[in-house]
A and B are shown apart, each in its own frame.
Chain A
């Protein structure tokens, strides 16, 4: 267990995994003709999937830490939250690039932005960019810890927007979206429940719930 935790906590390991996923799923098929009949569409879908699952991974990590405070593995993975979050943003930018190439011209691109489904994606991506750009010590210091934390809670809004973006992107996509949405929602619920019950019942119950919800991050 300790050995595994050490490997999982290793920066180089995390970085090569995050980049390796892209090489394995995007670059290798692109070079070997494995992207099929509509290669740009395939890239569009793959980059979108990678980005949203990475975002899901980040959002799973903090409740996992609260639920399993003693787990070394969870602690090791939590070291990489910033790296995974920034990767999600980079893959999402590649997703946007694939969309631009797919449309192939300004007309088509502008027309695509007349559709609400694209707005959800664009809104989500804007949040991811803001979070990625402020994911450094300098930003934490200049914003102040509290504000920074508040700002980074936008990640939950991004996730909601993007699960919706994915769910309506194509027929039947909710079928994959729900595999992301329900586990994440359950983790949050479990964390809130745990904090609710582990807290000494000194305060009035309603205030306890309120504080818990407010702290549930």
Chain B
């Protein structure tokens, strides 16, 4: 009995200190993950705690010492999410005009022993517990952030699906919902948004499926309810709002690669030595660093060279950009 009382009281305090939609969503989130009891023990009555959200533990291996985490309001107001506008300040508004990201069905299929279609929250429960990782995020447009993601390794999902031997690639498709998403009524882009990884890349410990950031469920504009995060590749590889994950034998066609193959390669590893045709990739603008901050040097594989370099041993990274 006491558990319930505490929880309700705490949630009332959270409600008082948190904007309505967040509060409702978090409550749902906590309930869904069966974290209610644990949460009540960790949620003090201060508004400070109210804004830090559910208690997933930081994975100490991904703390990223010595870098400044990008403030939350910047992470959630500067997004490339072309389904919801071309300008980066549009998704925050357009993705929150009634677009529903729960309930959400996600399909795992293709060349695997365990294909299934289910509700995203079921999947999250299957793959949990959720952990937090601070990852560098480098956009192909030469800007960067550091983002505290909440989620789990993609490898867990791959293991769950049990891909067959012929599966050499994984194809990720975002939602297609032209009834609710105006941009998808136009043929300017080959919707849905698709991306791909090699099967080795998908099993790498760094490849991540995020369901939250800053300890809260993903806001719509950041790719709710579930998205890919591949920190050593340019941001466009990290497909948002996933509807389908498929194991395939051939390298999948990906959206940006189809639109401009000379600009956006399949691998799209962060690489300061291979320029985009229109701008240098040697350096990047750090979001939130200030008006006169200039740019900082971009690191090979976005600073994850030690962990992922071996995946590309012997590969010509100029050709396979």
A interface with B by C-beta (< 8 Å): 36-41, 101-105, 107-108, 111-112, 114-115, 117, 168-172, 175
**Contact A38 B143, CB 8 Å, known A112-B279, A168-B278, A171-B86:** yes
What per-residue 1/0 map shows which CB atoms of B51-74 lie under 8 Å from chain A? 000000000000000000000011
Q: Chain B's nearest CB lies how many Å from the CB of A162?
A: 15
Query: Which of B78, B283, B292, B295 sits near A36, CB closer than 8 Å?
Result: B78
Are B294 and A104 in contact (CB-based, < 8 A)?
yes
Chain A residue nearest to B86 (CB atoms) is A172
Are A117 and B278 in contact (CB-based, < 8 A)?
yes
Are A114 and B77 in contact (CB-based, < 8 A)?
no
8 examples of A-B residue contacts, CB within 8 angstroms: A36-B78, A37-B89, A38-B143, A38-B287, A105-B294, A105-B295, A107-B283, A112-B279
In the complex, which residues of chain B have a beta carbon less than 8 angstroms from the beta carbon of A108? 280, 282-283, 294-295
Are B295 and A104 in contact (CB-based, < 8 A)?
yes
Are B279 and A37 in contact (CB-based, < 8 A)?
no
Q: Chain B's nearest CB lies how many Å from the CB of A98?
A: 10
Are B74 and A39 in contact (CB-based, < 8 A)?
no
**Contact A103 B295, CB 8 Å, known A38-B88, A115-B278, A115-B279:** yes
Are A37 and B280 in contact (CB-based, < 8 A)?
no
Main secondary structure of the interface of A (DSSP, over half): helix
A117 to B294, CA, bound (A): 21
In the complex, which residues of chain B have a beta carbon less than 8 angstroms from the beta carbon of A36? 77-78, 88-89
Q: Chain B's nearest CB lies how many Å from the CB of A174?
A: 10
Q: Chain A's nearest CB lies how many Å from the CB of B95?
A: 16
Are A101 and B280 in contact (CB-based, < 8 A)?
no
Are B288 and A37 in contact (CB-based, < 8 A)?
yes
Residue B293 is within 8 A (CB to CB) of chain A in the complex: yes
In the complex, which residues of chain B have a beta carbon less than 8 angstroms from the beta carbon of A102? 285, 295
Residue B277 is within 8 A (CB to CB) of chain A in the complex: yes
A170 to B276, CA, bound (A): 12
Are B78 and A101 in contact (CB-based, < 8 A)?
no
In the complex, which residues of chain B have a beta carbon less than 8 angstroms from the beta carbon of A171? 86, 259-260
Are A40 and B291 in contact (CB-based, < 8 A)?
yes
Main secondary structure of the interface of B (DSSP, over half): loop
Known: A38-B143, A40-B285. 11 other contacts (CB 8 A): A36-B77, A37-B77, A38-B287, A101-B291, A111-B280, A111-B282, A112-B280, A115-B279, A172-B82, A172-B188, A175-B188
In the complex, which residues of chain A have a beta carbon less than 8 angstroms from the beta carbon of B74? 37
A117 to B278, CA, bound (A): 6
A129 to B95, CA, bound (A): 42
A38 to B291, CA, bound (A): 8
Those 5 A-B pairs whose CB atoms lie nearest each other, nearest first: A104-B294, A37-B78, A37-B74, A111-B280, A117-B278
A126 to B89, CA, bound (A): 32
In the complex, which residues of chain B have a beta carbon less than 8 angstroms from the beta carbon of A105? 294-295
In the complex, which residues of chain A have a beta carbon less than 8 angstroms from the beta carbon of B292? 101, 104
In the complex, which residues of chain A have a beta carbon less than 8 angstroms from the beta carbon of B285? 38, 40-41, 102
In the complex, which residues of chain B have a beta carbon less than 8 angstroms from the beta carbon of A117? 278
Q: Give B106-153 interface residues, CB cut-off 8 Å to A.
A: 141, 143
Are A37 and B294 in contact (CB-based, < 8 A)?
no
Q: Chain B's nearest CB lies how many Å from the CB of A34?
A: 10
Q: Chain B's nearest CB lies how many Å from the CB of A101?
A: 7
A38 to B295, CA, bound (A): 12
A107 to B188, CA, bound (A): 36
Q: Chain A's nearest CB lies how many Å from the CB of B73?
A: 8
A14 to B282, CA, bound (A): 44
Query: Which of A114, A169, A175 sits near B280, CB closer than 8 Å?
Result: A114
A168 to B277, CA, bound (A): 11
In the complex, which residues of chain B have a beta carbon less than 8 angstroms from the beta carbon of A112? 279-280
Chain A residue nearest to B276 (CB atoms) is A115
A112 to B294, CA, bound (A): 13
A3 to B223, CA, bound (A): 53
Q: Chain B's nearest CB lies how many Å from the CB of A44?
A: 11
A102 to B292, CA, bound (A): 8
